[in-house]
A and B are shown apart, each in its own frame.
Chain A
Amino acid sequence: MTRFLIRRIGQAILVLFAASIAVFLLFFVGPGPDQVARTFAGRLGTPQRILEIKHALHLDQPLYLQYLHWVGNLLQGNLGFDYYKGQSVNTVVGQALPATVSLVVGAAILWIAYGVFSGVVSAVRSRSLLDRGFTTAALFFYSMPTFVLGYTLIFIFAYELYRVTKFFPFSSYVPITTNPWQWFVHLILPWLTLAMVTAAAYTRLTRTSMLDVLGEDYIRTARSKGMPEQRVIRVHALRSALTPVVTLAGLDIGTALGGVIITEQVFGIPGLGWTIVQAIGQQDLPIIMGIAVLAATFVVIANVIVDILYAVLDPRVRLN
């Protein structure tokens, strides 16, 4: 186990290193320092002013030095400084992260609960009316663009049904520390949007995996020794059927924590996804790179956790 852990973490660090180079090349070298300085100087920028800006932002140094400087700061937990307000990127991220976490955690609870429940019911009552209903619903939400679902919900609940559902805001976000009730109310529609779109894959995966497991010999053994069906499903089938679901959930949550761009954009939630879209509009490279690296880190950590969970949940998985 220890050897497996060390190897896996070593690989994760390598992946992160590669990701940091990719982020640096794509988002920093890609647009080019001249472009950045020009954007920053604005319409009235003279060549002299552009040179000054390049010097002030260290854009005139060799690229490898700029990279080392950036990574060196990253390793000390410093994401750099925003070009416009001179604000620390850590502060910007620190302000955006709670919104994203609120959105993702709430939605994840919904989508995992619904997805697993509907998948298990679909598999156990395979080909029943309930199964068809859940499968059709999954297909429906799977085929729906996220932003269309979001705007439809806003249209129905916040606009058309305003007289009935007075409390649904159109968009925006209230931090939980300001007003927990408003926080909750503002997040209901975003949670539903993100959860419904994501849950579809969980229904399908849980159903397939559960059907697979129910066909295994050990389930037949459990049934043949007279175990009640409820117990067979809860104790024996569910545990191994849920292994792939845990994998998917881990990766999905990891990815989502790095910013849920579309949902945040639709509902005006100032999370990481919203912030990075704003930063791209302004060519604010330190923010873009900071959030991109953070997002990659979340995914990589989620990958490691999933691998470990996999081995813990399913003893048949070899650790080498």
Chain B
Amino acid sequence: MTVSVDPAAGHLEPEATATAPGAPIIQGRSLGQIAWRRLRRDKVAMAGGTFIAFLVVVSIIGPYFVQDPTVYHSSLIDPTFSRPIGPWGGISLAHPFGVEPITGRDMLARIVDGAPYSLLIGFLSTMLAVVIGVFFGIIAGYFGGWTDSVIARAMDVFLAFPLLVFAIALVGVIPNSAFGMSGNQLRVALLVFVIGFFAWPYMGRIIRGQVLSLREREFVDAARSIGARGPYILFRELLPNLVGPILVYATLLIPTNILFEAALDYLGVGLIPPTPSWGQMLSSAVSNGFYYIDPMFMIIPGLAIFITVMAFNLFGDGLRDAFDPRTR
């Protein structure tokens, strides 16, 4: 990873040399450009971002480079204890992450195969939460009055709801095929819906707070004075000013949602085996007690989730600092 040092981003403000003859033409920088410059100098955040990019690449092309995750290698399994032969869960050159107990399936292949599920569910549920949250947050903050009261109380109801319970109960009663989908496709859709639908008040509250202060600003008055109406002000004037916080909190919501998906997997209402999401691998390691005889079986998917969540958190924190340096 390289950190490029831009001379123009130094301590000398360009304005100071503006009047000098022959000076380069000065270009105004947008808030986004300023934030991007700050972000690029934040090594920790960039490391997180790089890891996320790497992970996205892995989940797209990774499956073509690893072994078949469904092949059983029973010769690598100790027949008495059903655990992998050799130390560290049977780590070898052929199986860099070792093999699974009982079946002997390659762990690396399963981790790579599970990456898209964890990422996809994290991303899509966050997008759903952002869309609903921003929509209601903007409306509540801008209109105020009873609209605000109703939306704020609705958020209270959502937050008052024991959402894991709802998720287990819902996934438990949905049949194997519904809404024209079936199997894991349906499960993914269901998980995205449940997680996203219950995460929106978190986004909504933040956006509402931001809009409450934004709507008092002069540019909103200016728009109103030239005859702009509600929807125009909301989505053409206010929304662009919210891009920063939306980006930041969406980035911070993704890891929460990935952890939530893992929790649902643990409670037995996540993806259906043999599809390997990380949470599901973890839960099969812990809920059968297999991690006592083969700790690596838990450690490897655990690390995969942990590092991914950490990377998103680091990147999100860096993004927040970049948009709002006061919080550093």
Instruction: Please give the residue numbers on chain A whose beta carbons come within 8 Å of chain B beta carbons, in ascending order.
Output: 11, 14-15, 18-19, 22, 26-27, 30-31, 35, 139-140, 142-148, 151-152, 155, 159, 208, 251, 255, 258-259, 261-262, 265-266, 276-277, 280-281, 288, 291-292, 295-296, 299-300, 303
Contact B157 A15 (CB under 8 A): yes
Bits for B172-206, please: 1 = Cβ < 8 Å to A, else 0. 11000000000000000000000000000000000
Contact A292 B173 (CB under 8 A): no
Residues of B within 8 A of A276 (CB): 162, 165
Residues of A within 8 A of B263 (CB): 145-147, 262
| Interface check B34, CB cutoff 8 A | no
CB within 8 Å for A299 and B267 given contacts A144-B306, A151-B291: no
Residues of A within 8 A of B232 (CB): none
CB within 8 Å for A261 and B313 given contacts A22-B157, A145-B259, A148-B298: no
Instruction: Please give the residue numbers on chain B whose beta carbons come within 8 Å of chain A beta carbons, in ascending order.
Output: 149, 153-154, 156-157, 159-162, 164-166, 168-170, 172-173, 255, 259, 262-263, 266-267, 279, 282-283, 286, 291-292, 295, 298, 302, 305-306, 309-310, 313-314, 327
- How many inter-chain residue pairs (CB < 8 Å) link A and B? 117
Identify the 8 closest CB pairs spanning chains A and B, nearest first. Answer: A299-B160, A143-B309, A143-B310, A295-B162, A296-B160, A151-B286, A31-B173, A148-B302
Partner of A259, one of B162, B255, B309: B162
The 25 sampled A-B contact pairs (Cβ below 8 Å) are A19-B157, A22-B157, A30-B169, A143-B306, A145-B266, A145-B279, A145-B305, A147-B262, A147-B283, A148-B302, A148-B305, A155-B291, A159-B292, A208-B327, A259-B162, A259-B165, A261-B164, A261-B165, A265-B266, A276-B165, A277-B168, A291-B165, A292-B162, A292-B166, A296-B160
Contact A145 B292 (CB under 8 A): no
Partner of A262, one of B153, B154, B266, B306: B266
Contact B161 A22 (CB under 8 A): yes
Contact B267 A148 (CB under 8 A): no
Looking at the assembled complex, report how far the CB atom of B212 sits from the nearest CB atom of chain A, in whole angstroms: 14
Contact B266 A155 (CB under 8 A): no
Residues of B within 8 A of A151 (CB): 286, 291, 298
Contact A148 B286 (CB under 8 A): yes
Q: Which residue of B lies closest to A18 (CB)?
A: B157
Residues of A within 8 A of B266 (CB): 145, 147, 262, 265
Q: Which residue of B lies closest to A208 (CB)?
A: B327
- Chain A CB within 10 Å, residue with most, of B165, B266, B298: B165
Residues of B within 8 A of A262 (CB): 164, 263, 266-267
Q: Which residue of A lies closest to B152 (CB)?
A: A11
Partner of B302, one of A31, A139, A145: A145
Question: CA separation between A276 and B283, bound complex, in Å?
Answer: 20
Residues of B within 8 A of A18 (CB): 153-154, 157
CB within 8 Å for A143 and B286 given contacts A30-B170, A303-B160: no
Contact B161 A296 (CB under 8 A): yes
Question: CA separation between A30 and B174, bound complex, in Å?
Answer: 10
Residues of B within 8 A of A265 (CB): 266-267
CB within 8 Å for A295 and B157 given contacts A26-B170, A143-B313, A147-B286: no
Question: CA separation between A14 and B314, bound complex, in Å?
Answer: 40
Residues of A within 8 A of B173 (CB): 30-31, 35
Contact B327 A19 (CB under 8 A): no
- Chain A CB within 10 Å, residue with most, of B160, B267, B314, B327: B160
Looking at the assembled complex, report how far the CB atom of B100 sits from the nearest CB atom of chain A, in whole angstroms: 17
- Chain B CB within 10 Å, residue with most, of A35, A140, A280: A280
Question: CA separation between A26 and B172, bound complex, in Å?
Answer: 12
Looking at the assembled complex, report how far the CB atom of B89 sits from the nearest CB atom of chain A, in whole angstroms: 14
Looking at the assembled complex, report how far the CB atom of B41 sits from the nearest CB atom of chain A, in whole angstroms: 17
CB within 8 Å for A139 and B314 given contacts A15-B157, A15-B160, A22-B161: yes
Question: CA separation between A281 and B170, bound complex, in Å?
Answer: 11
CB within 8 Å for A280 and B168 given contacts A143-B313, A148-B282: yes
Contact B313 A295 (CB under 8 A): no
Looking at the assembled complex, report how far the CB atom of A285 sits from the nearest CB atom of chain B, in whole angstroms: 9
Contact B314 A11 (CB under 8 A): no
Residues of A within 8 A of B161 (CB): 19, 22, 292, 296
Looking at the assembled complex, report how far the CB atom of B275 sits from the nearest CB atom of chain A, in whole angstroms: 19
Q: Which residue of A lies closest to B149 (CB)?
A: A11
Looking at the assembled complex, report how far the CB atom of B165 sits from the nearest CB atom of chain A, in whole angstroms: 5
Question: CA separation between A277 and B291, bound complex, in Å?
Answer: 23
Residues of B within 8 A of A281 (CB): 172
Residues of A within 8 A of B279 (CB): 145
Looking at the assembled complex, report how far the CB atom of A308 sits from the nearest CB atom of chain B, in whole angstroms: 15
Residues of A within 8 A of B305 (CB): 145, 148
Residues of B within 8 A of A140 (CB): 310
Q: Which residue of A lies closest to B256 (CB)?
A: A142
Looking at the assembled complex, report how far the CB atom of B328 sits from the nearest CB atom of chain A, in whole angstroms: 9
Residues of B within 8 A of A159 (CB): 292
Question: CA separation between A294 and B169, bound complex, in Å?
Answer: 16
Looking at the assembled complex, report how far the CB atom of A255 sits from the nearest CB atom of chain B, in whole angstroms: 8
Q: Which residue of A lies closest to B309 (CB)?
A: A143
Question: CA separation between A116 and B327, bound complex, in Å?
Answer: 18
Question: CA separation between A45 and B161, bound complex, in Å?
Answer: 34
Q: Which residue of B lies closest to A36 (CB)?
A: B173
Q: Which residue of B lies closest to A197 (CB)?
A: B259
Residues of A within 8 A of B267 (CB): 261-262, 265, 277
Residues of A within 8 A of B286 (CB): 147-148, 151, 266
Residues of B within 8 A of A152 (CB): 298, 302
Contact A11 B165 (CB under 8 A): no
Looking at the assembled complex, report how far the CB atom of A319 sits from the nearest CB atom of chain B, in whole angstroms: 16
Looking at the assembled complex, report how far the CB atom of B242 sits from the nearest CB atom of chain A, in whole angstroms: 21
Residues of A within 8 A of B306 (CB): 143-145, 148
Question: CA separation between A139 and B161, bound complex, in Å?
Answer: 27
